[in-house]
């Protein structure tokens, strides 16, 4: 456990995943978030259900409130992989650029899954 994210927040086309992860996230952030939640398992929001997380994220995104659900998932990822950070930082990142956050989280999950 390094204590840091394996890729930068703005490194949307970094490996693993590369440009495909970036493109997928920009085209359908709801699906990308749902896929991320499904890979984390039942201890995260929506019981780890991809479709439930996708729908919930869509509804909250439409209201401008997705950061509340997203920051808890980001916090779970940090805790699971021993990454430094805090809830305030998670809130700011998921509120200001949720798509970059999803890309970074997806890369981190992929890195630890391989």
The predicted-structure confidence for 18-54, as pLDDT tens digits, reads as follows 999 999 999 999 999 999 999 999 988 888 999 999 9
How far is it, in rounded angstroms, from Cα 63 to Cα 50?
20
**HSE-up of 53 (CA within 13 Å, CB side)?**
27
Q: Hey, what are 68's tokens?
A: 């509340």
Taking 70 as the threshold, does the pLDDT of residue 2 lie above it?
no
How far is it, in rounded angstroms, from Cα 84 to Cα 39?
21
């Amino acid at each position: 456990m390094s204590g840091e994210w394996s890729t930068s927040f703005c490194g949307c086309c970094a490996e693993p995943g590369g440009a495909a992860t970036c493109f997928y996230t920009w085209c359908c952030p709801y699906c990308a978030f749902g896929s991320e939640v499904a890979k984390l398992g039942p201890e995260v929001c929506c019981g780890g259900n991809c479709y439930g997380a996708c729908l919930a994220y869509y509804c909250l995104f439409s209201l401008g409130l997705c950061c509340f659900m997203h920051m808890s998932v980001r916090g779970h990822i940090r805790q699971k992989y021993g990454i430094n950070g805090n809830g305030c930082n998670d809130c700011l990142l998921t509120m200001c650029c949720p798509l970059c956050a999803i890309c970074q989280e997806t890369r981190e999950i992929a890195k630890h899954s391989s």
